[in-house]
Amino acid sequence: MNDSSILTALDQLKKEVNSNISIVAVSKTKPESAVLEAYNVGHLDFGENKVQEVVRKNESLPKDIRWHFIGHLQRNKVKNIAPFVHLIHSVDSLKLLKEIDKRAASNSRQINCLLQISIAEEESKFGLSPELLHQLLDSEDYSNLQNIKVIGLMGMATNTKDEGTIRAEFSMLKNIFDATKKDHFLDSDSFNTLSMGMTSDFKLAIDEGSNMIRVGSLIFGERNKP
């Protein structure tokens, strides 16, 4: 028995979702102590959206934590996370992918990436359109990258209470995922990750085919507004 609300929420969530769904515990804005609580019961996957914050947490926390970068990533900051990042969910351009490849090479490693697709109806700032996605994967520049591996897609639904809209957007992303696998990764088992769903919509996302959810406030509590 424990009386930690973090552990209770995490435990509850793990019971609620099938074990083949990866749970990224989004610890942005939360202290190292909150990450450690979950780590100490065996949770290893944590999500952050600010370079400075994930670098700081990586320095002081156990080295077997798998840091997922889920926020918008500027090219000039890739070098700071390249030595340790586990998966970058938010790759939205070939230029960024090339920079990640370069920094992965200089760290003698491979960095796994997801391509972020814009699916929300609201004019979304970040993410590739399906057209640009296919253009990127067909490009010669992409085929020359040796130190990155694209292992799937990520998307965020519109922030709305309308379940129909959310479901349709997740369903669309699942279709894009399946088509991308068929058109570009048929020989590769490694294109296998569909990151969609957060606290408010992870159940709908899983219904529509997600196998990686990024859950913050449900586990760690509400965040203070910036």
Ligand X SMILES: *Cc1c(COP(=O)(O)O)cnc(C)c1O
Contact pick of 23, 70, 96, 145 for ligand X (by CB under 6 A):
70
Three-class SS state of 97? helix
Q: Would you say 15 or 63 has its CB closer to ligand X?
A: 15
Contact pick of 199, 203, 207, 209 for ligand X (by CB under 6 A):
199
158 lies in the site for ligand X, by CB under 6 A: no
- CB of 146: closest distance to ligand X in angstroms? 28
Q: Would you say 152 or 216 has its CB closer to ligand X?
A: 216
Q: Would you say 71 or 152 has its CB closer to ligand X?
A: 71
Count the residues of the shown chain that bind ligand X, applying the rule CB under 6 A. Answer: 14
Residue nearest to ligand X (CB): 216
Residue 48, C-beta contacts closer than 8 angstroms, at least 6 positions apart: 26, 27, 28, 54, 57, 67, 68, 69, 70, 71
Contact pick of 27, 49, 112, 180 for ligand X (by CB under 6 A):
49
The pair of structure tokens assigned to 142 is 């992409």
Residue 216, C-beta contacts closer than 8 angstroms, at least 6 positions apart: 25, 26, 27, 28, 47, 198, 199, 223
204 lies in the site for ligand X, by CB under 6 A: no
Indicate if the alpha-carbon torsion angle 101, 103, 106, 111 is positive or negative: negative
Instruction: Please choose, from the candidates 184, 176, 179, 173, the residue with its C-alpha nearest in 3D space to the C-alpha of residue 137.
Output: 184
Q: Would you say 65 or 145 has its CB closer to ligand X?
A: 65
Q: How many CA atoms lie within 13 A of 23 on its CB side?
A: 25
- CB of 144: closest distance to ligand X in angstroms? 29
Rg (C-alpha) for the chain, rounded Å, is: 17
- CB of 156: closest distance to ligand X in angstroms? 6
127 lies in the site for ligand X, by CB under 6 A: no
| Residues of this chain that bind ligand X (CB under 6 A) | 26, 28, 49, 70-71, 156, 198-200, 214-218
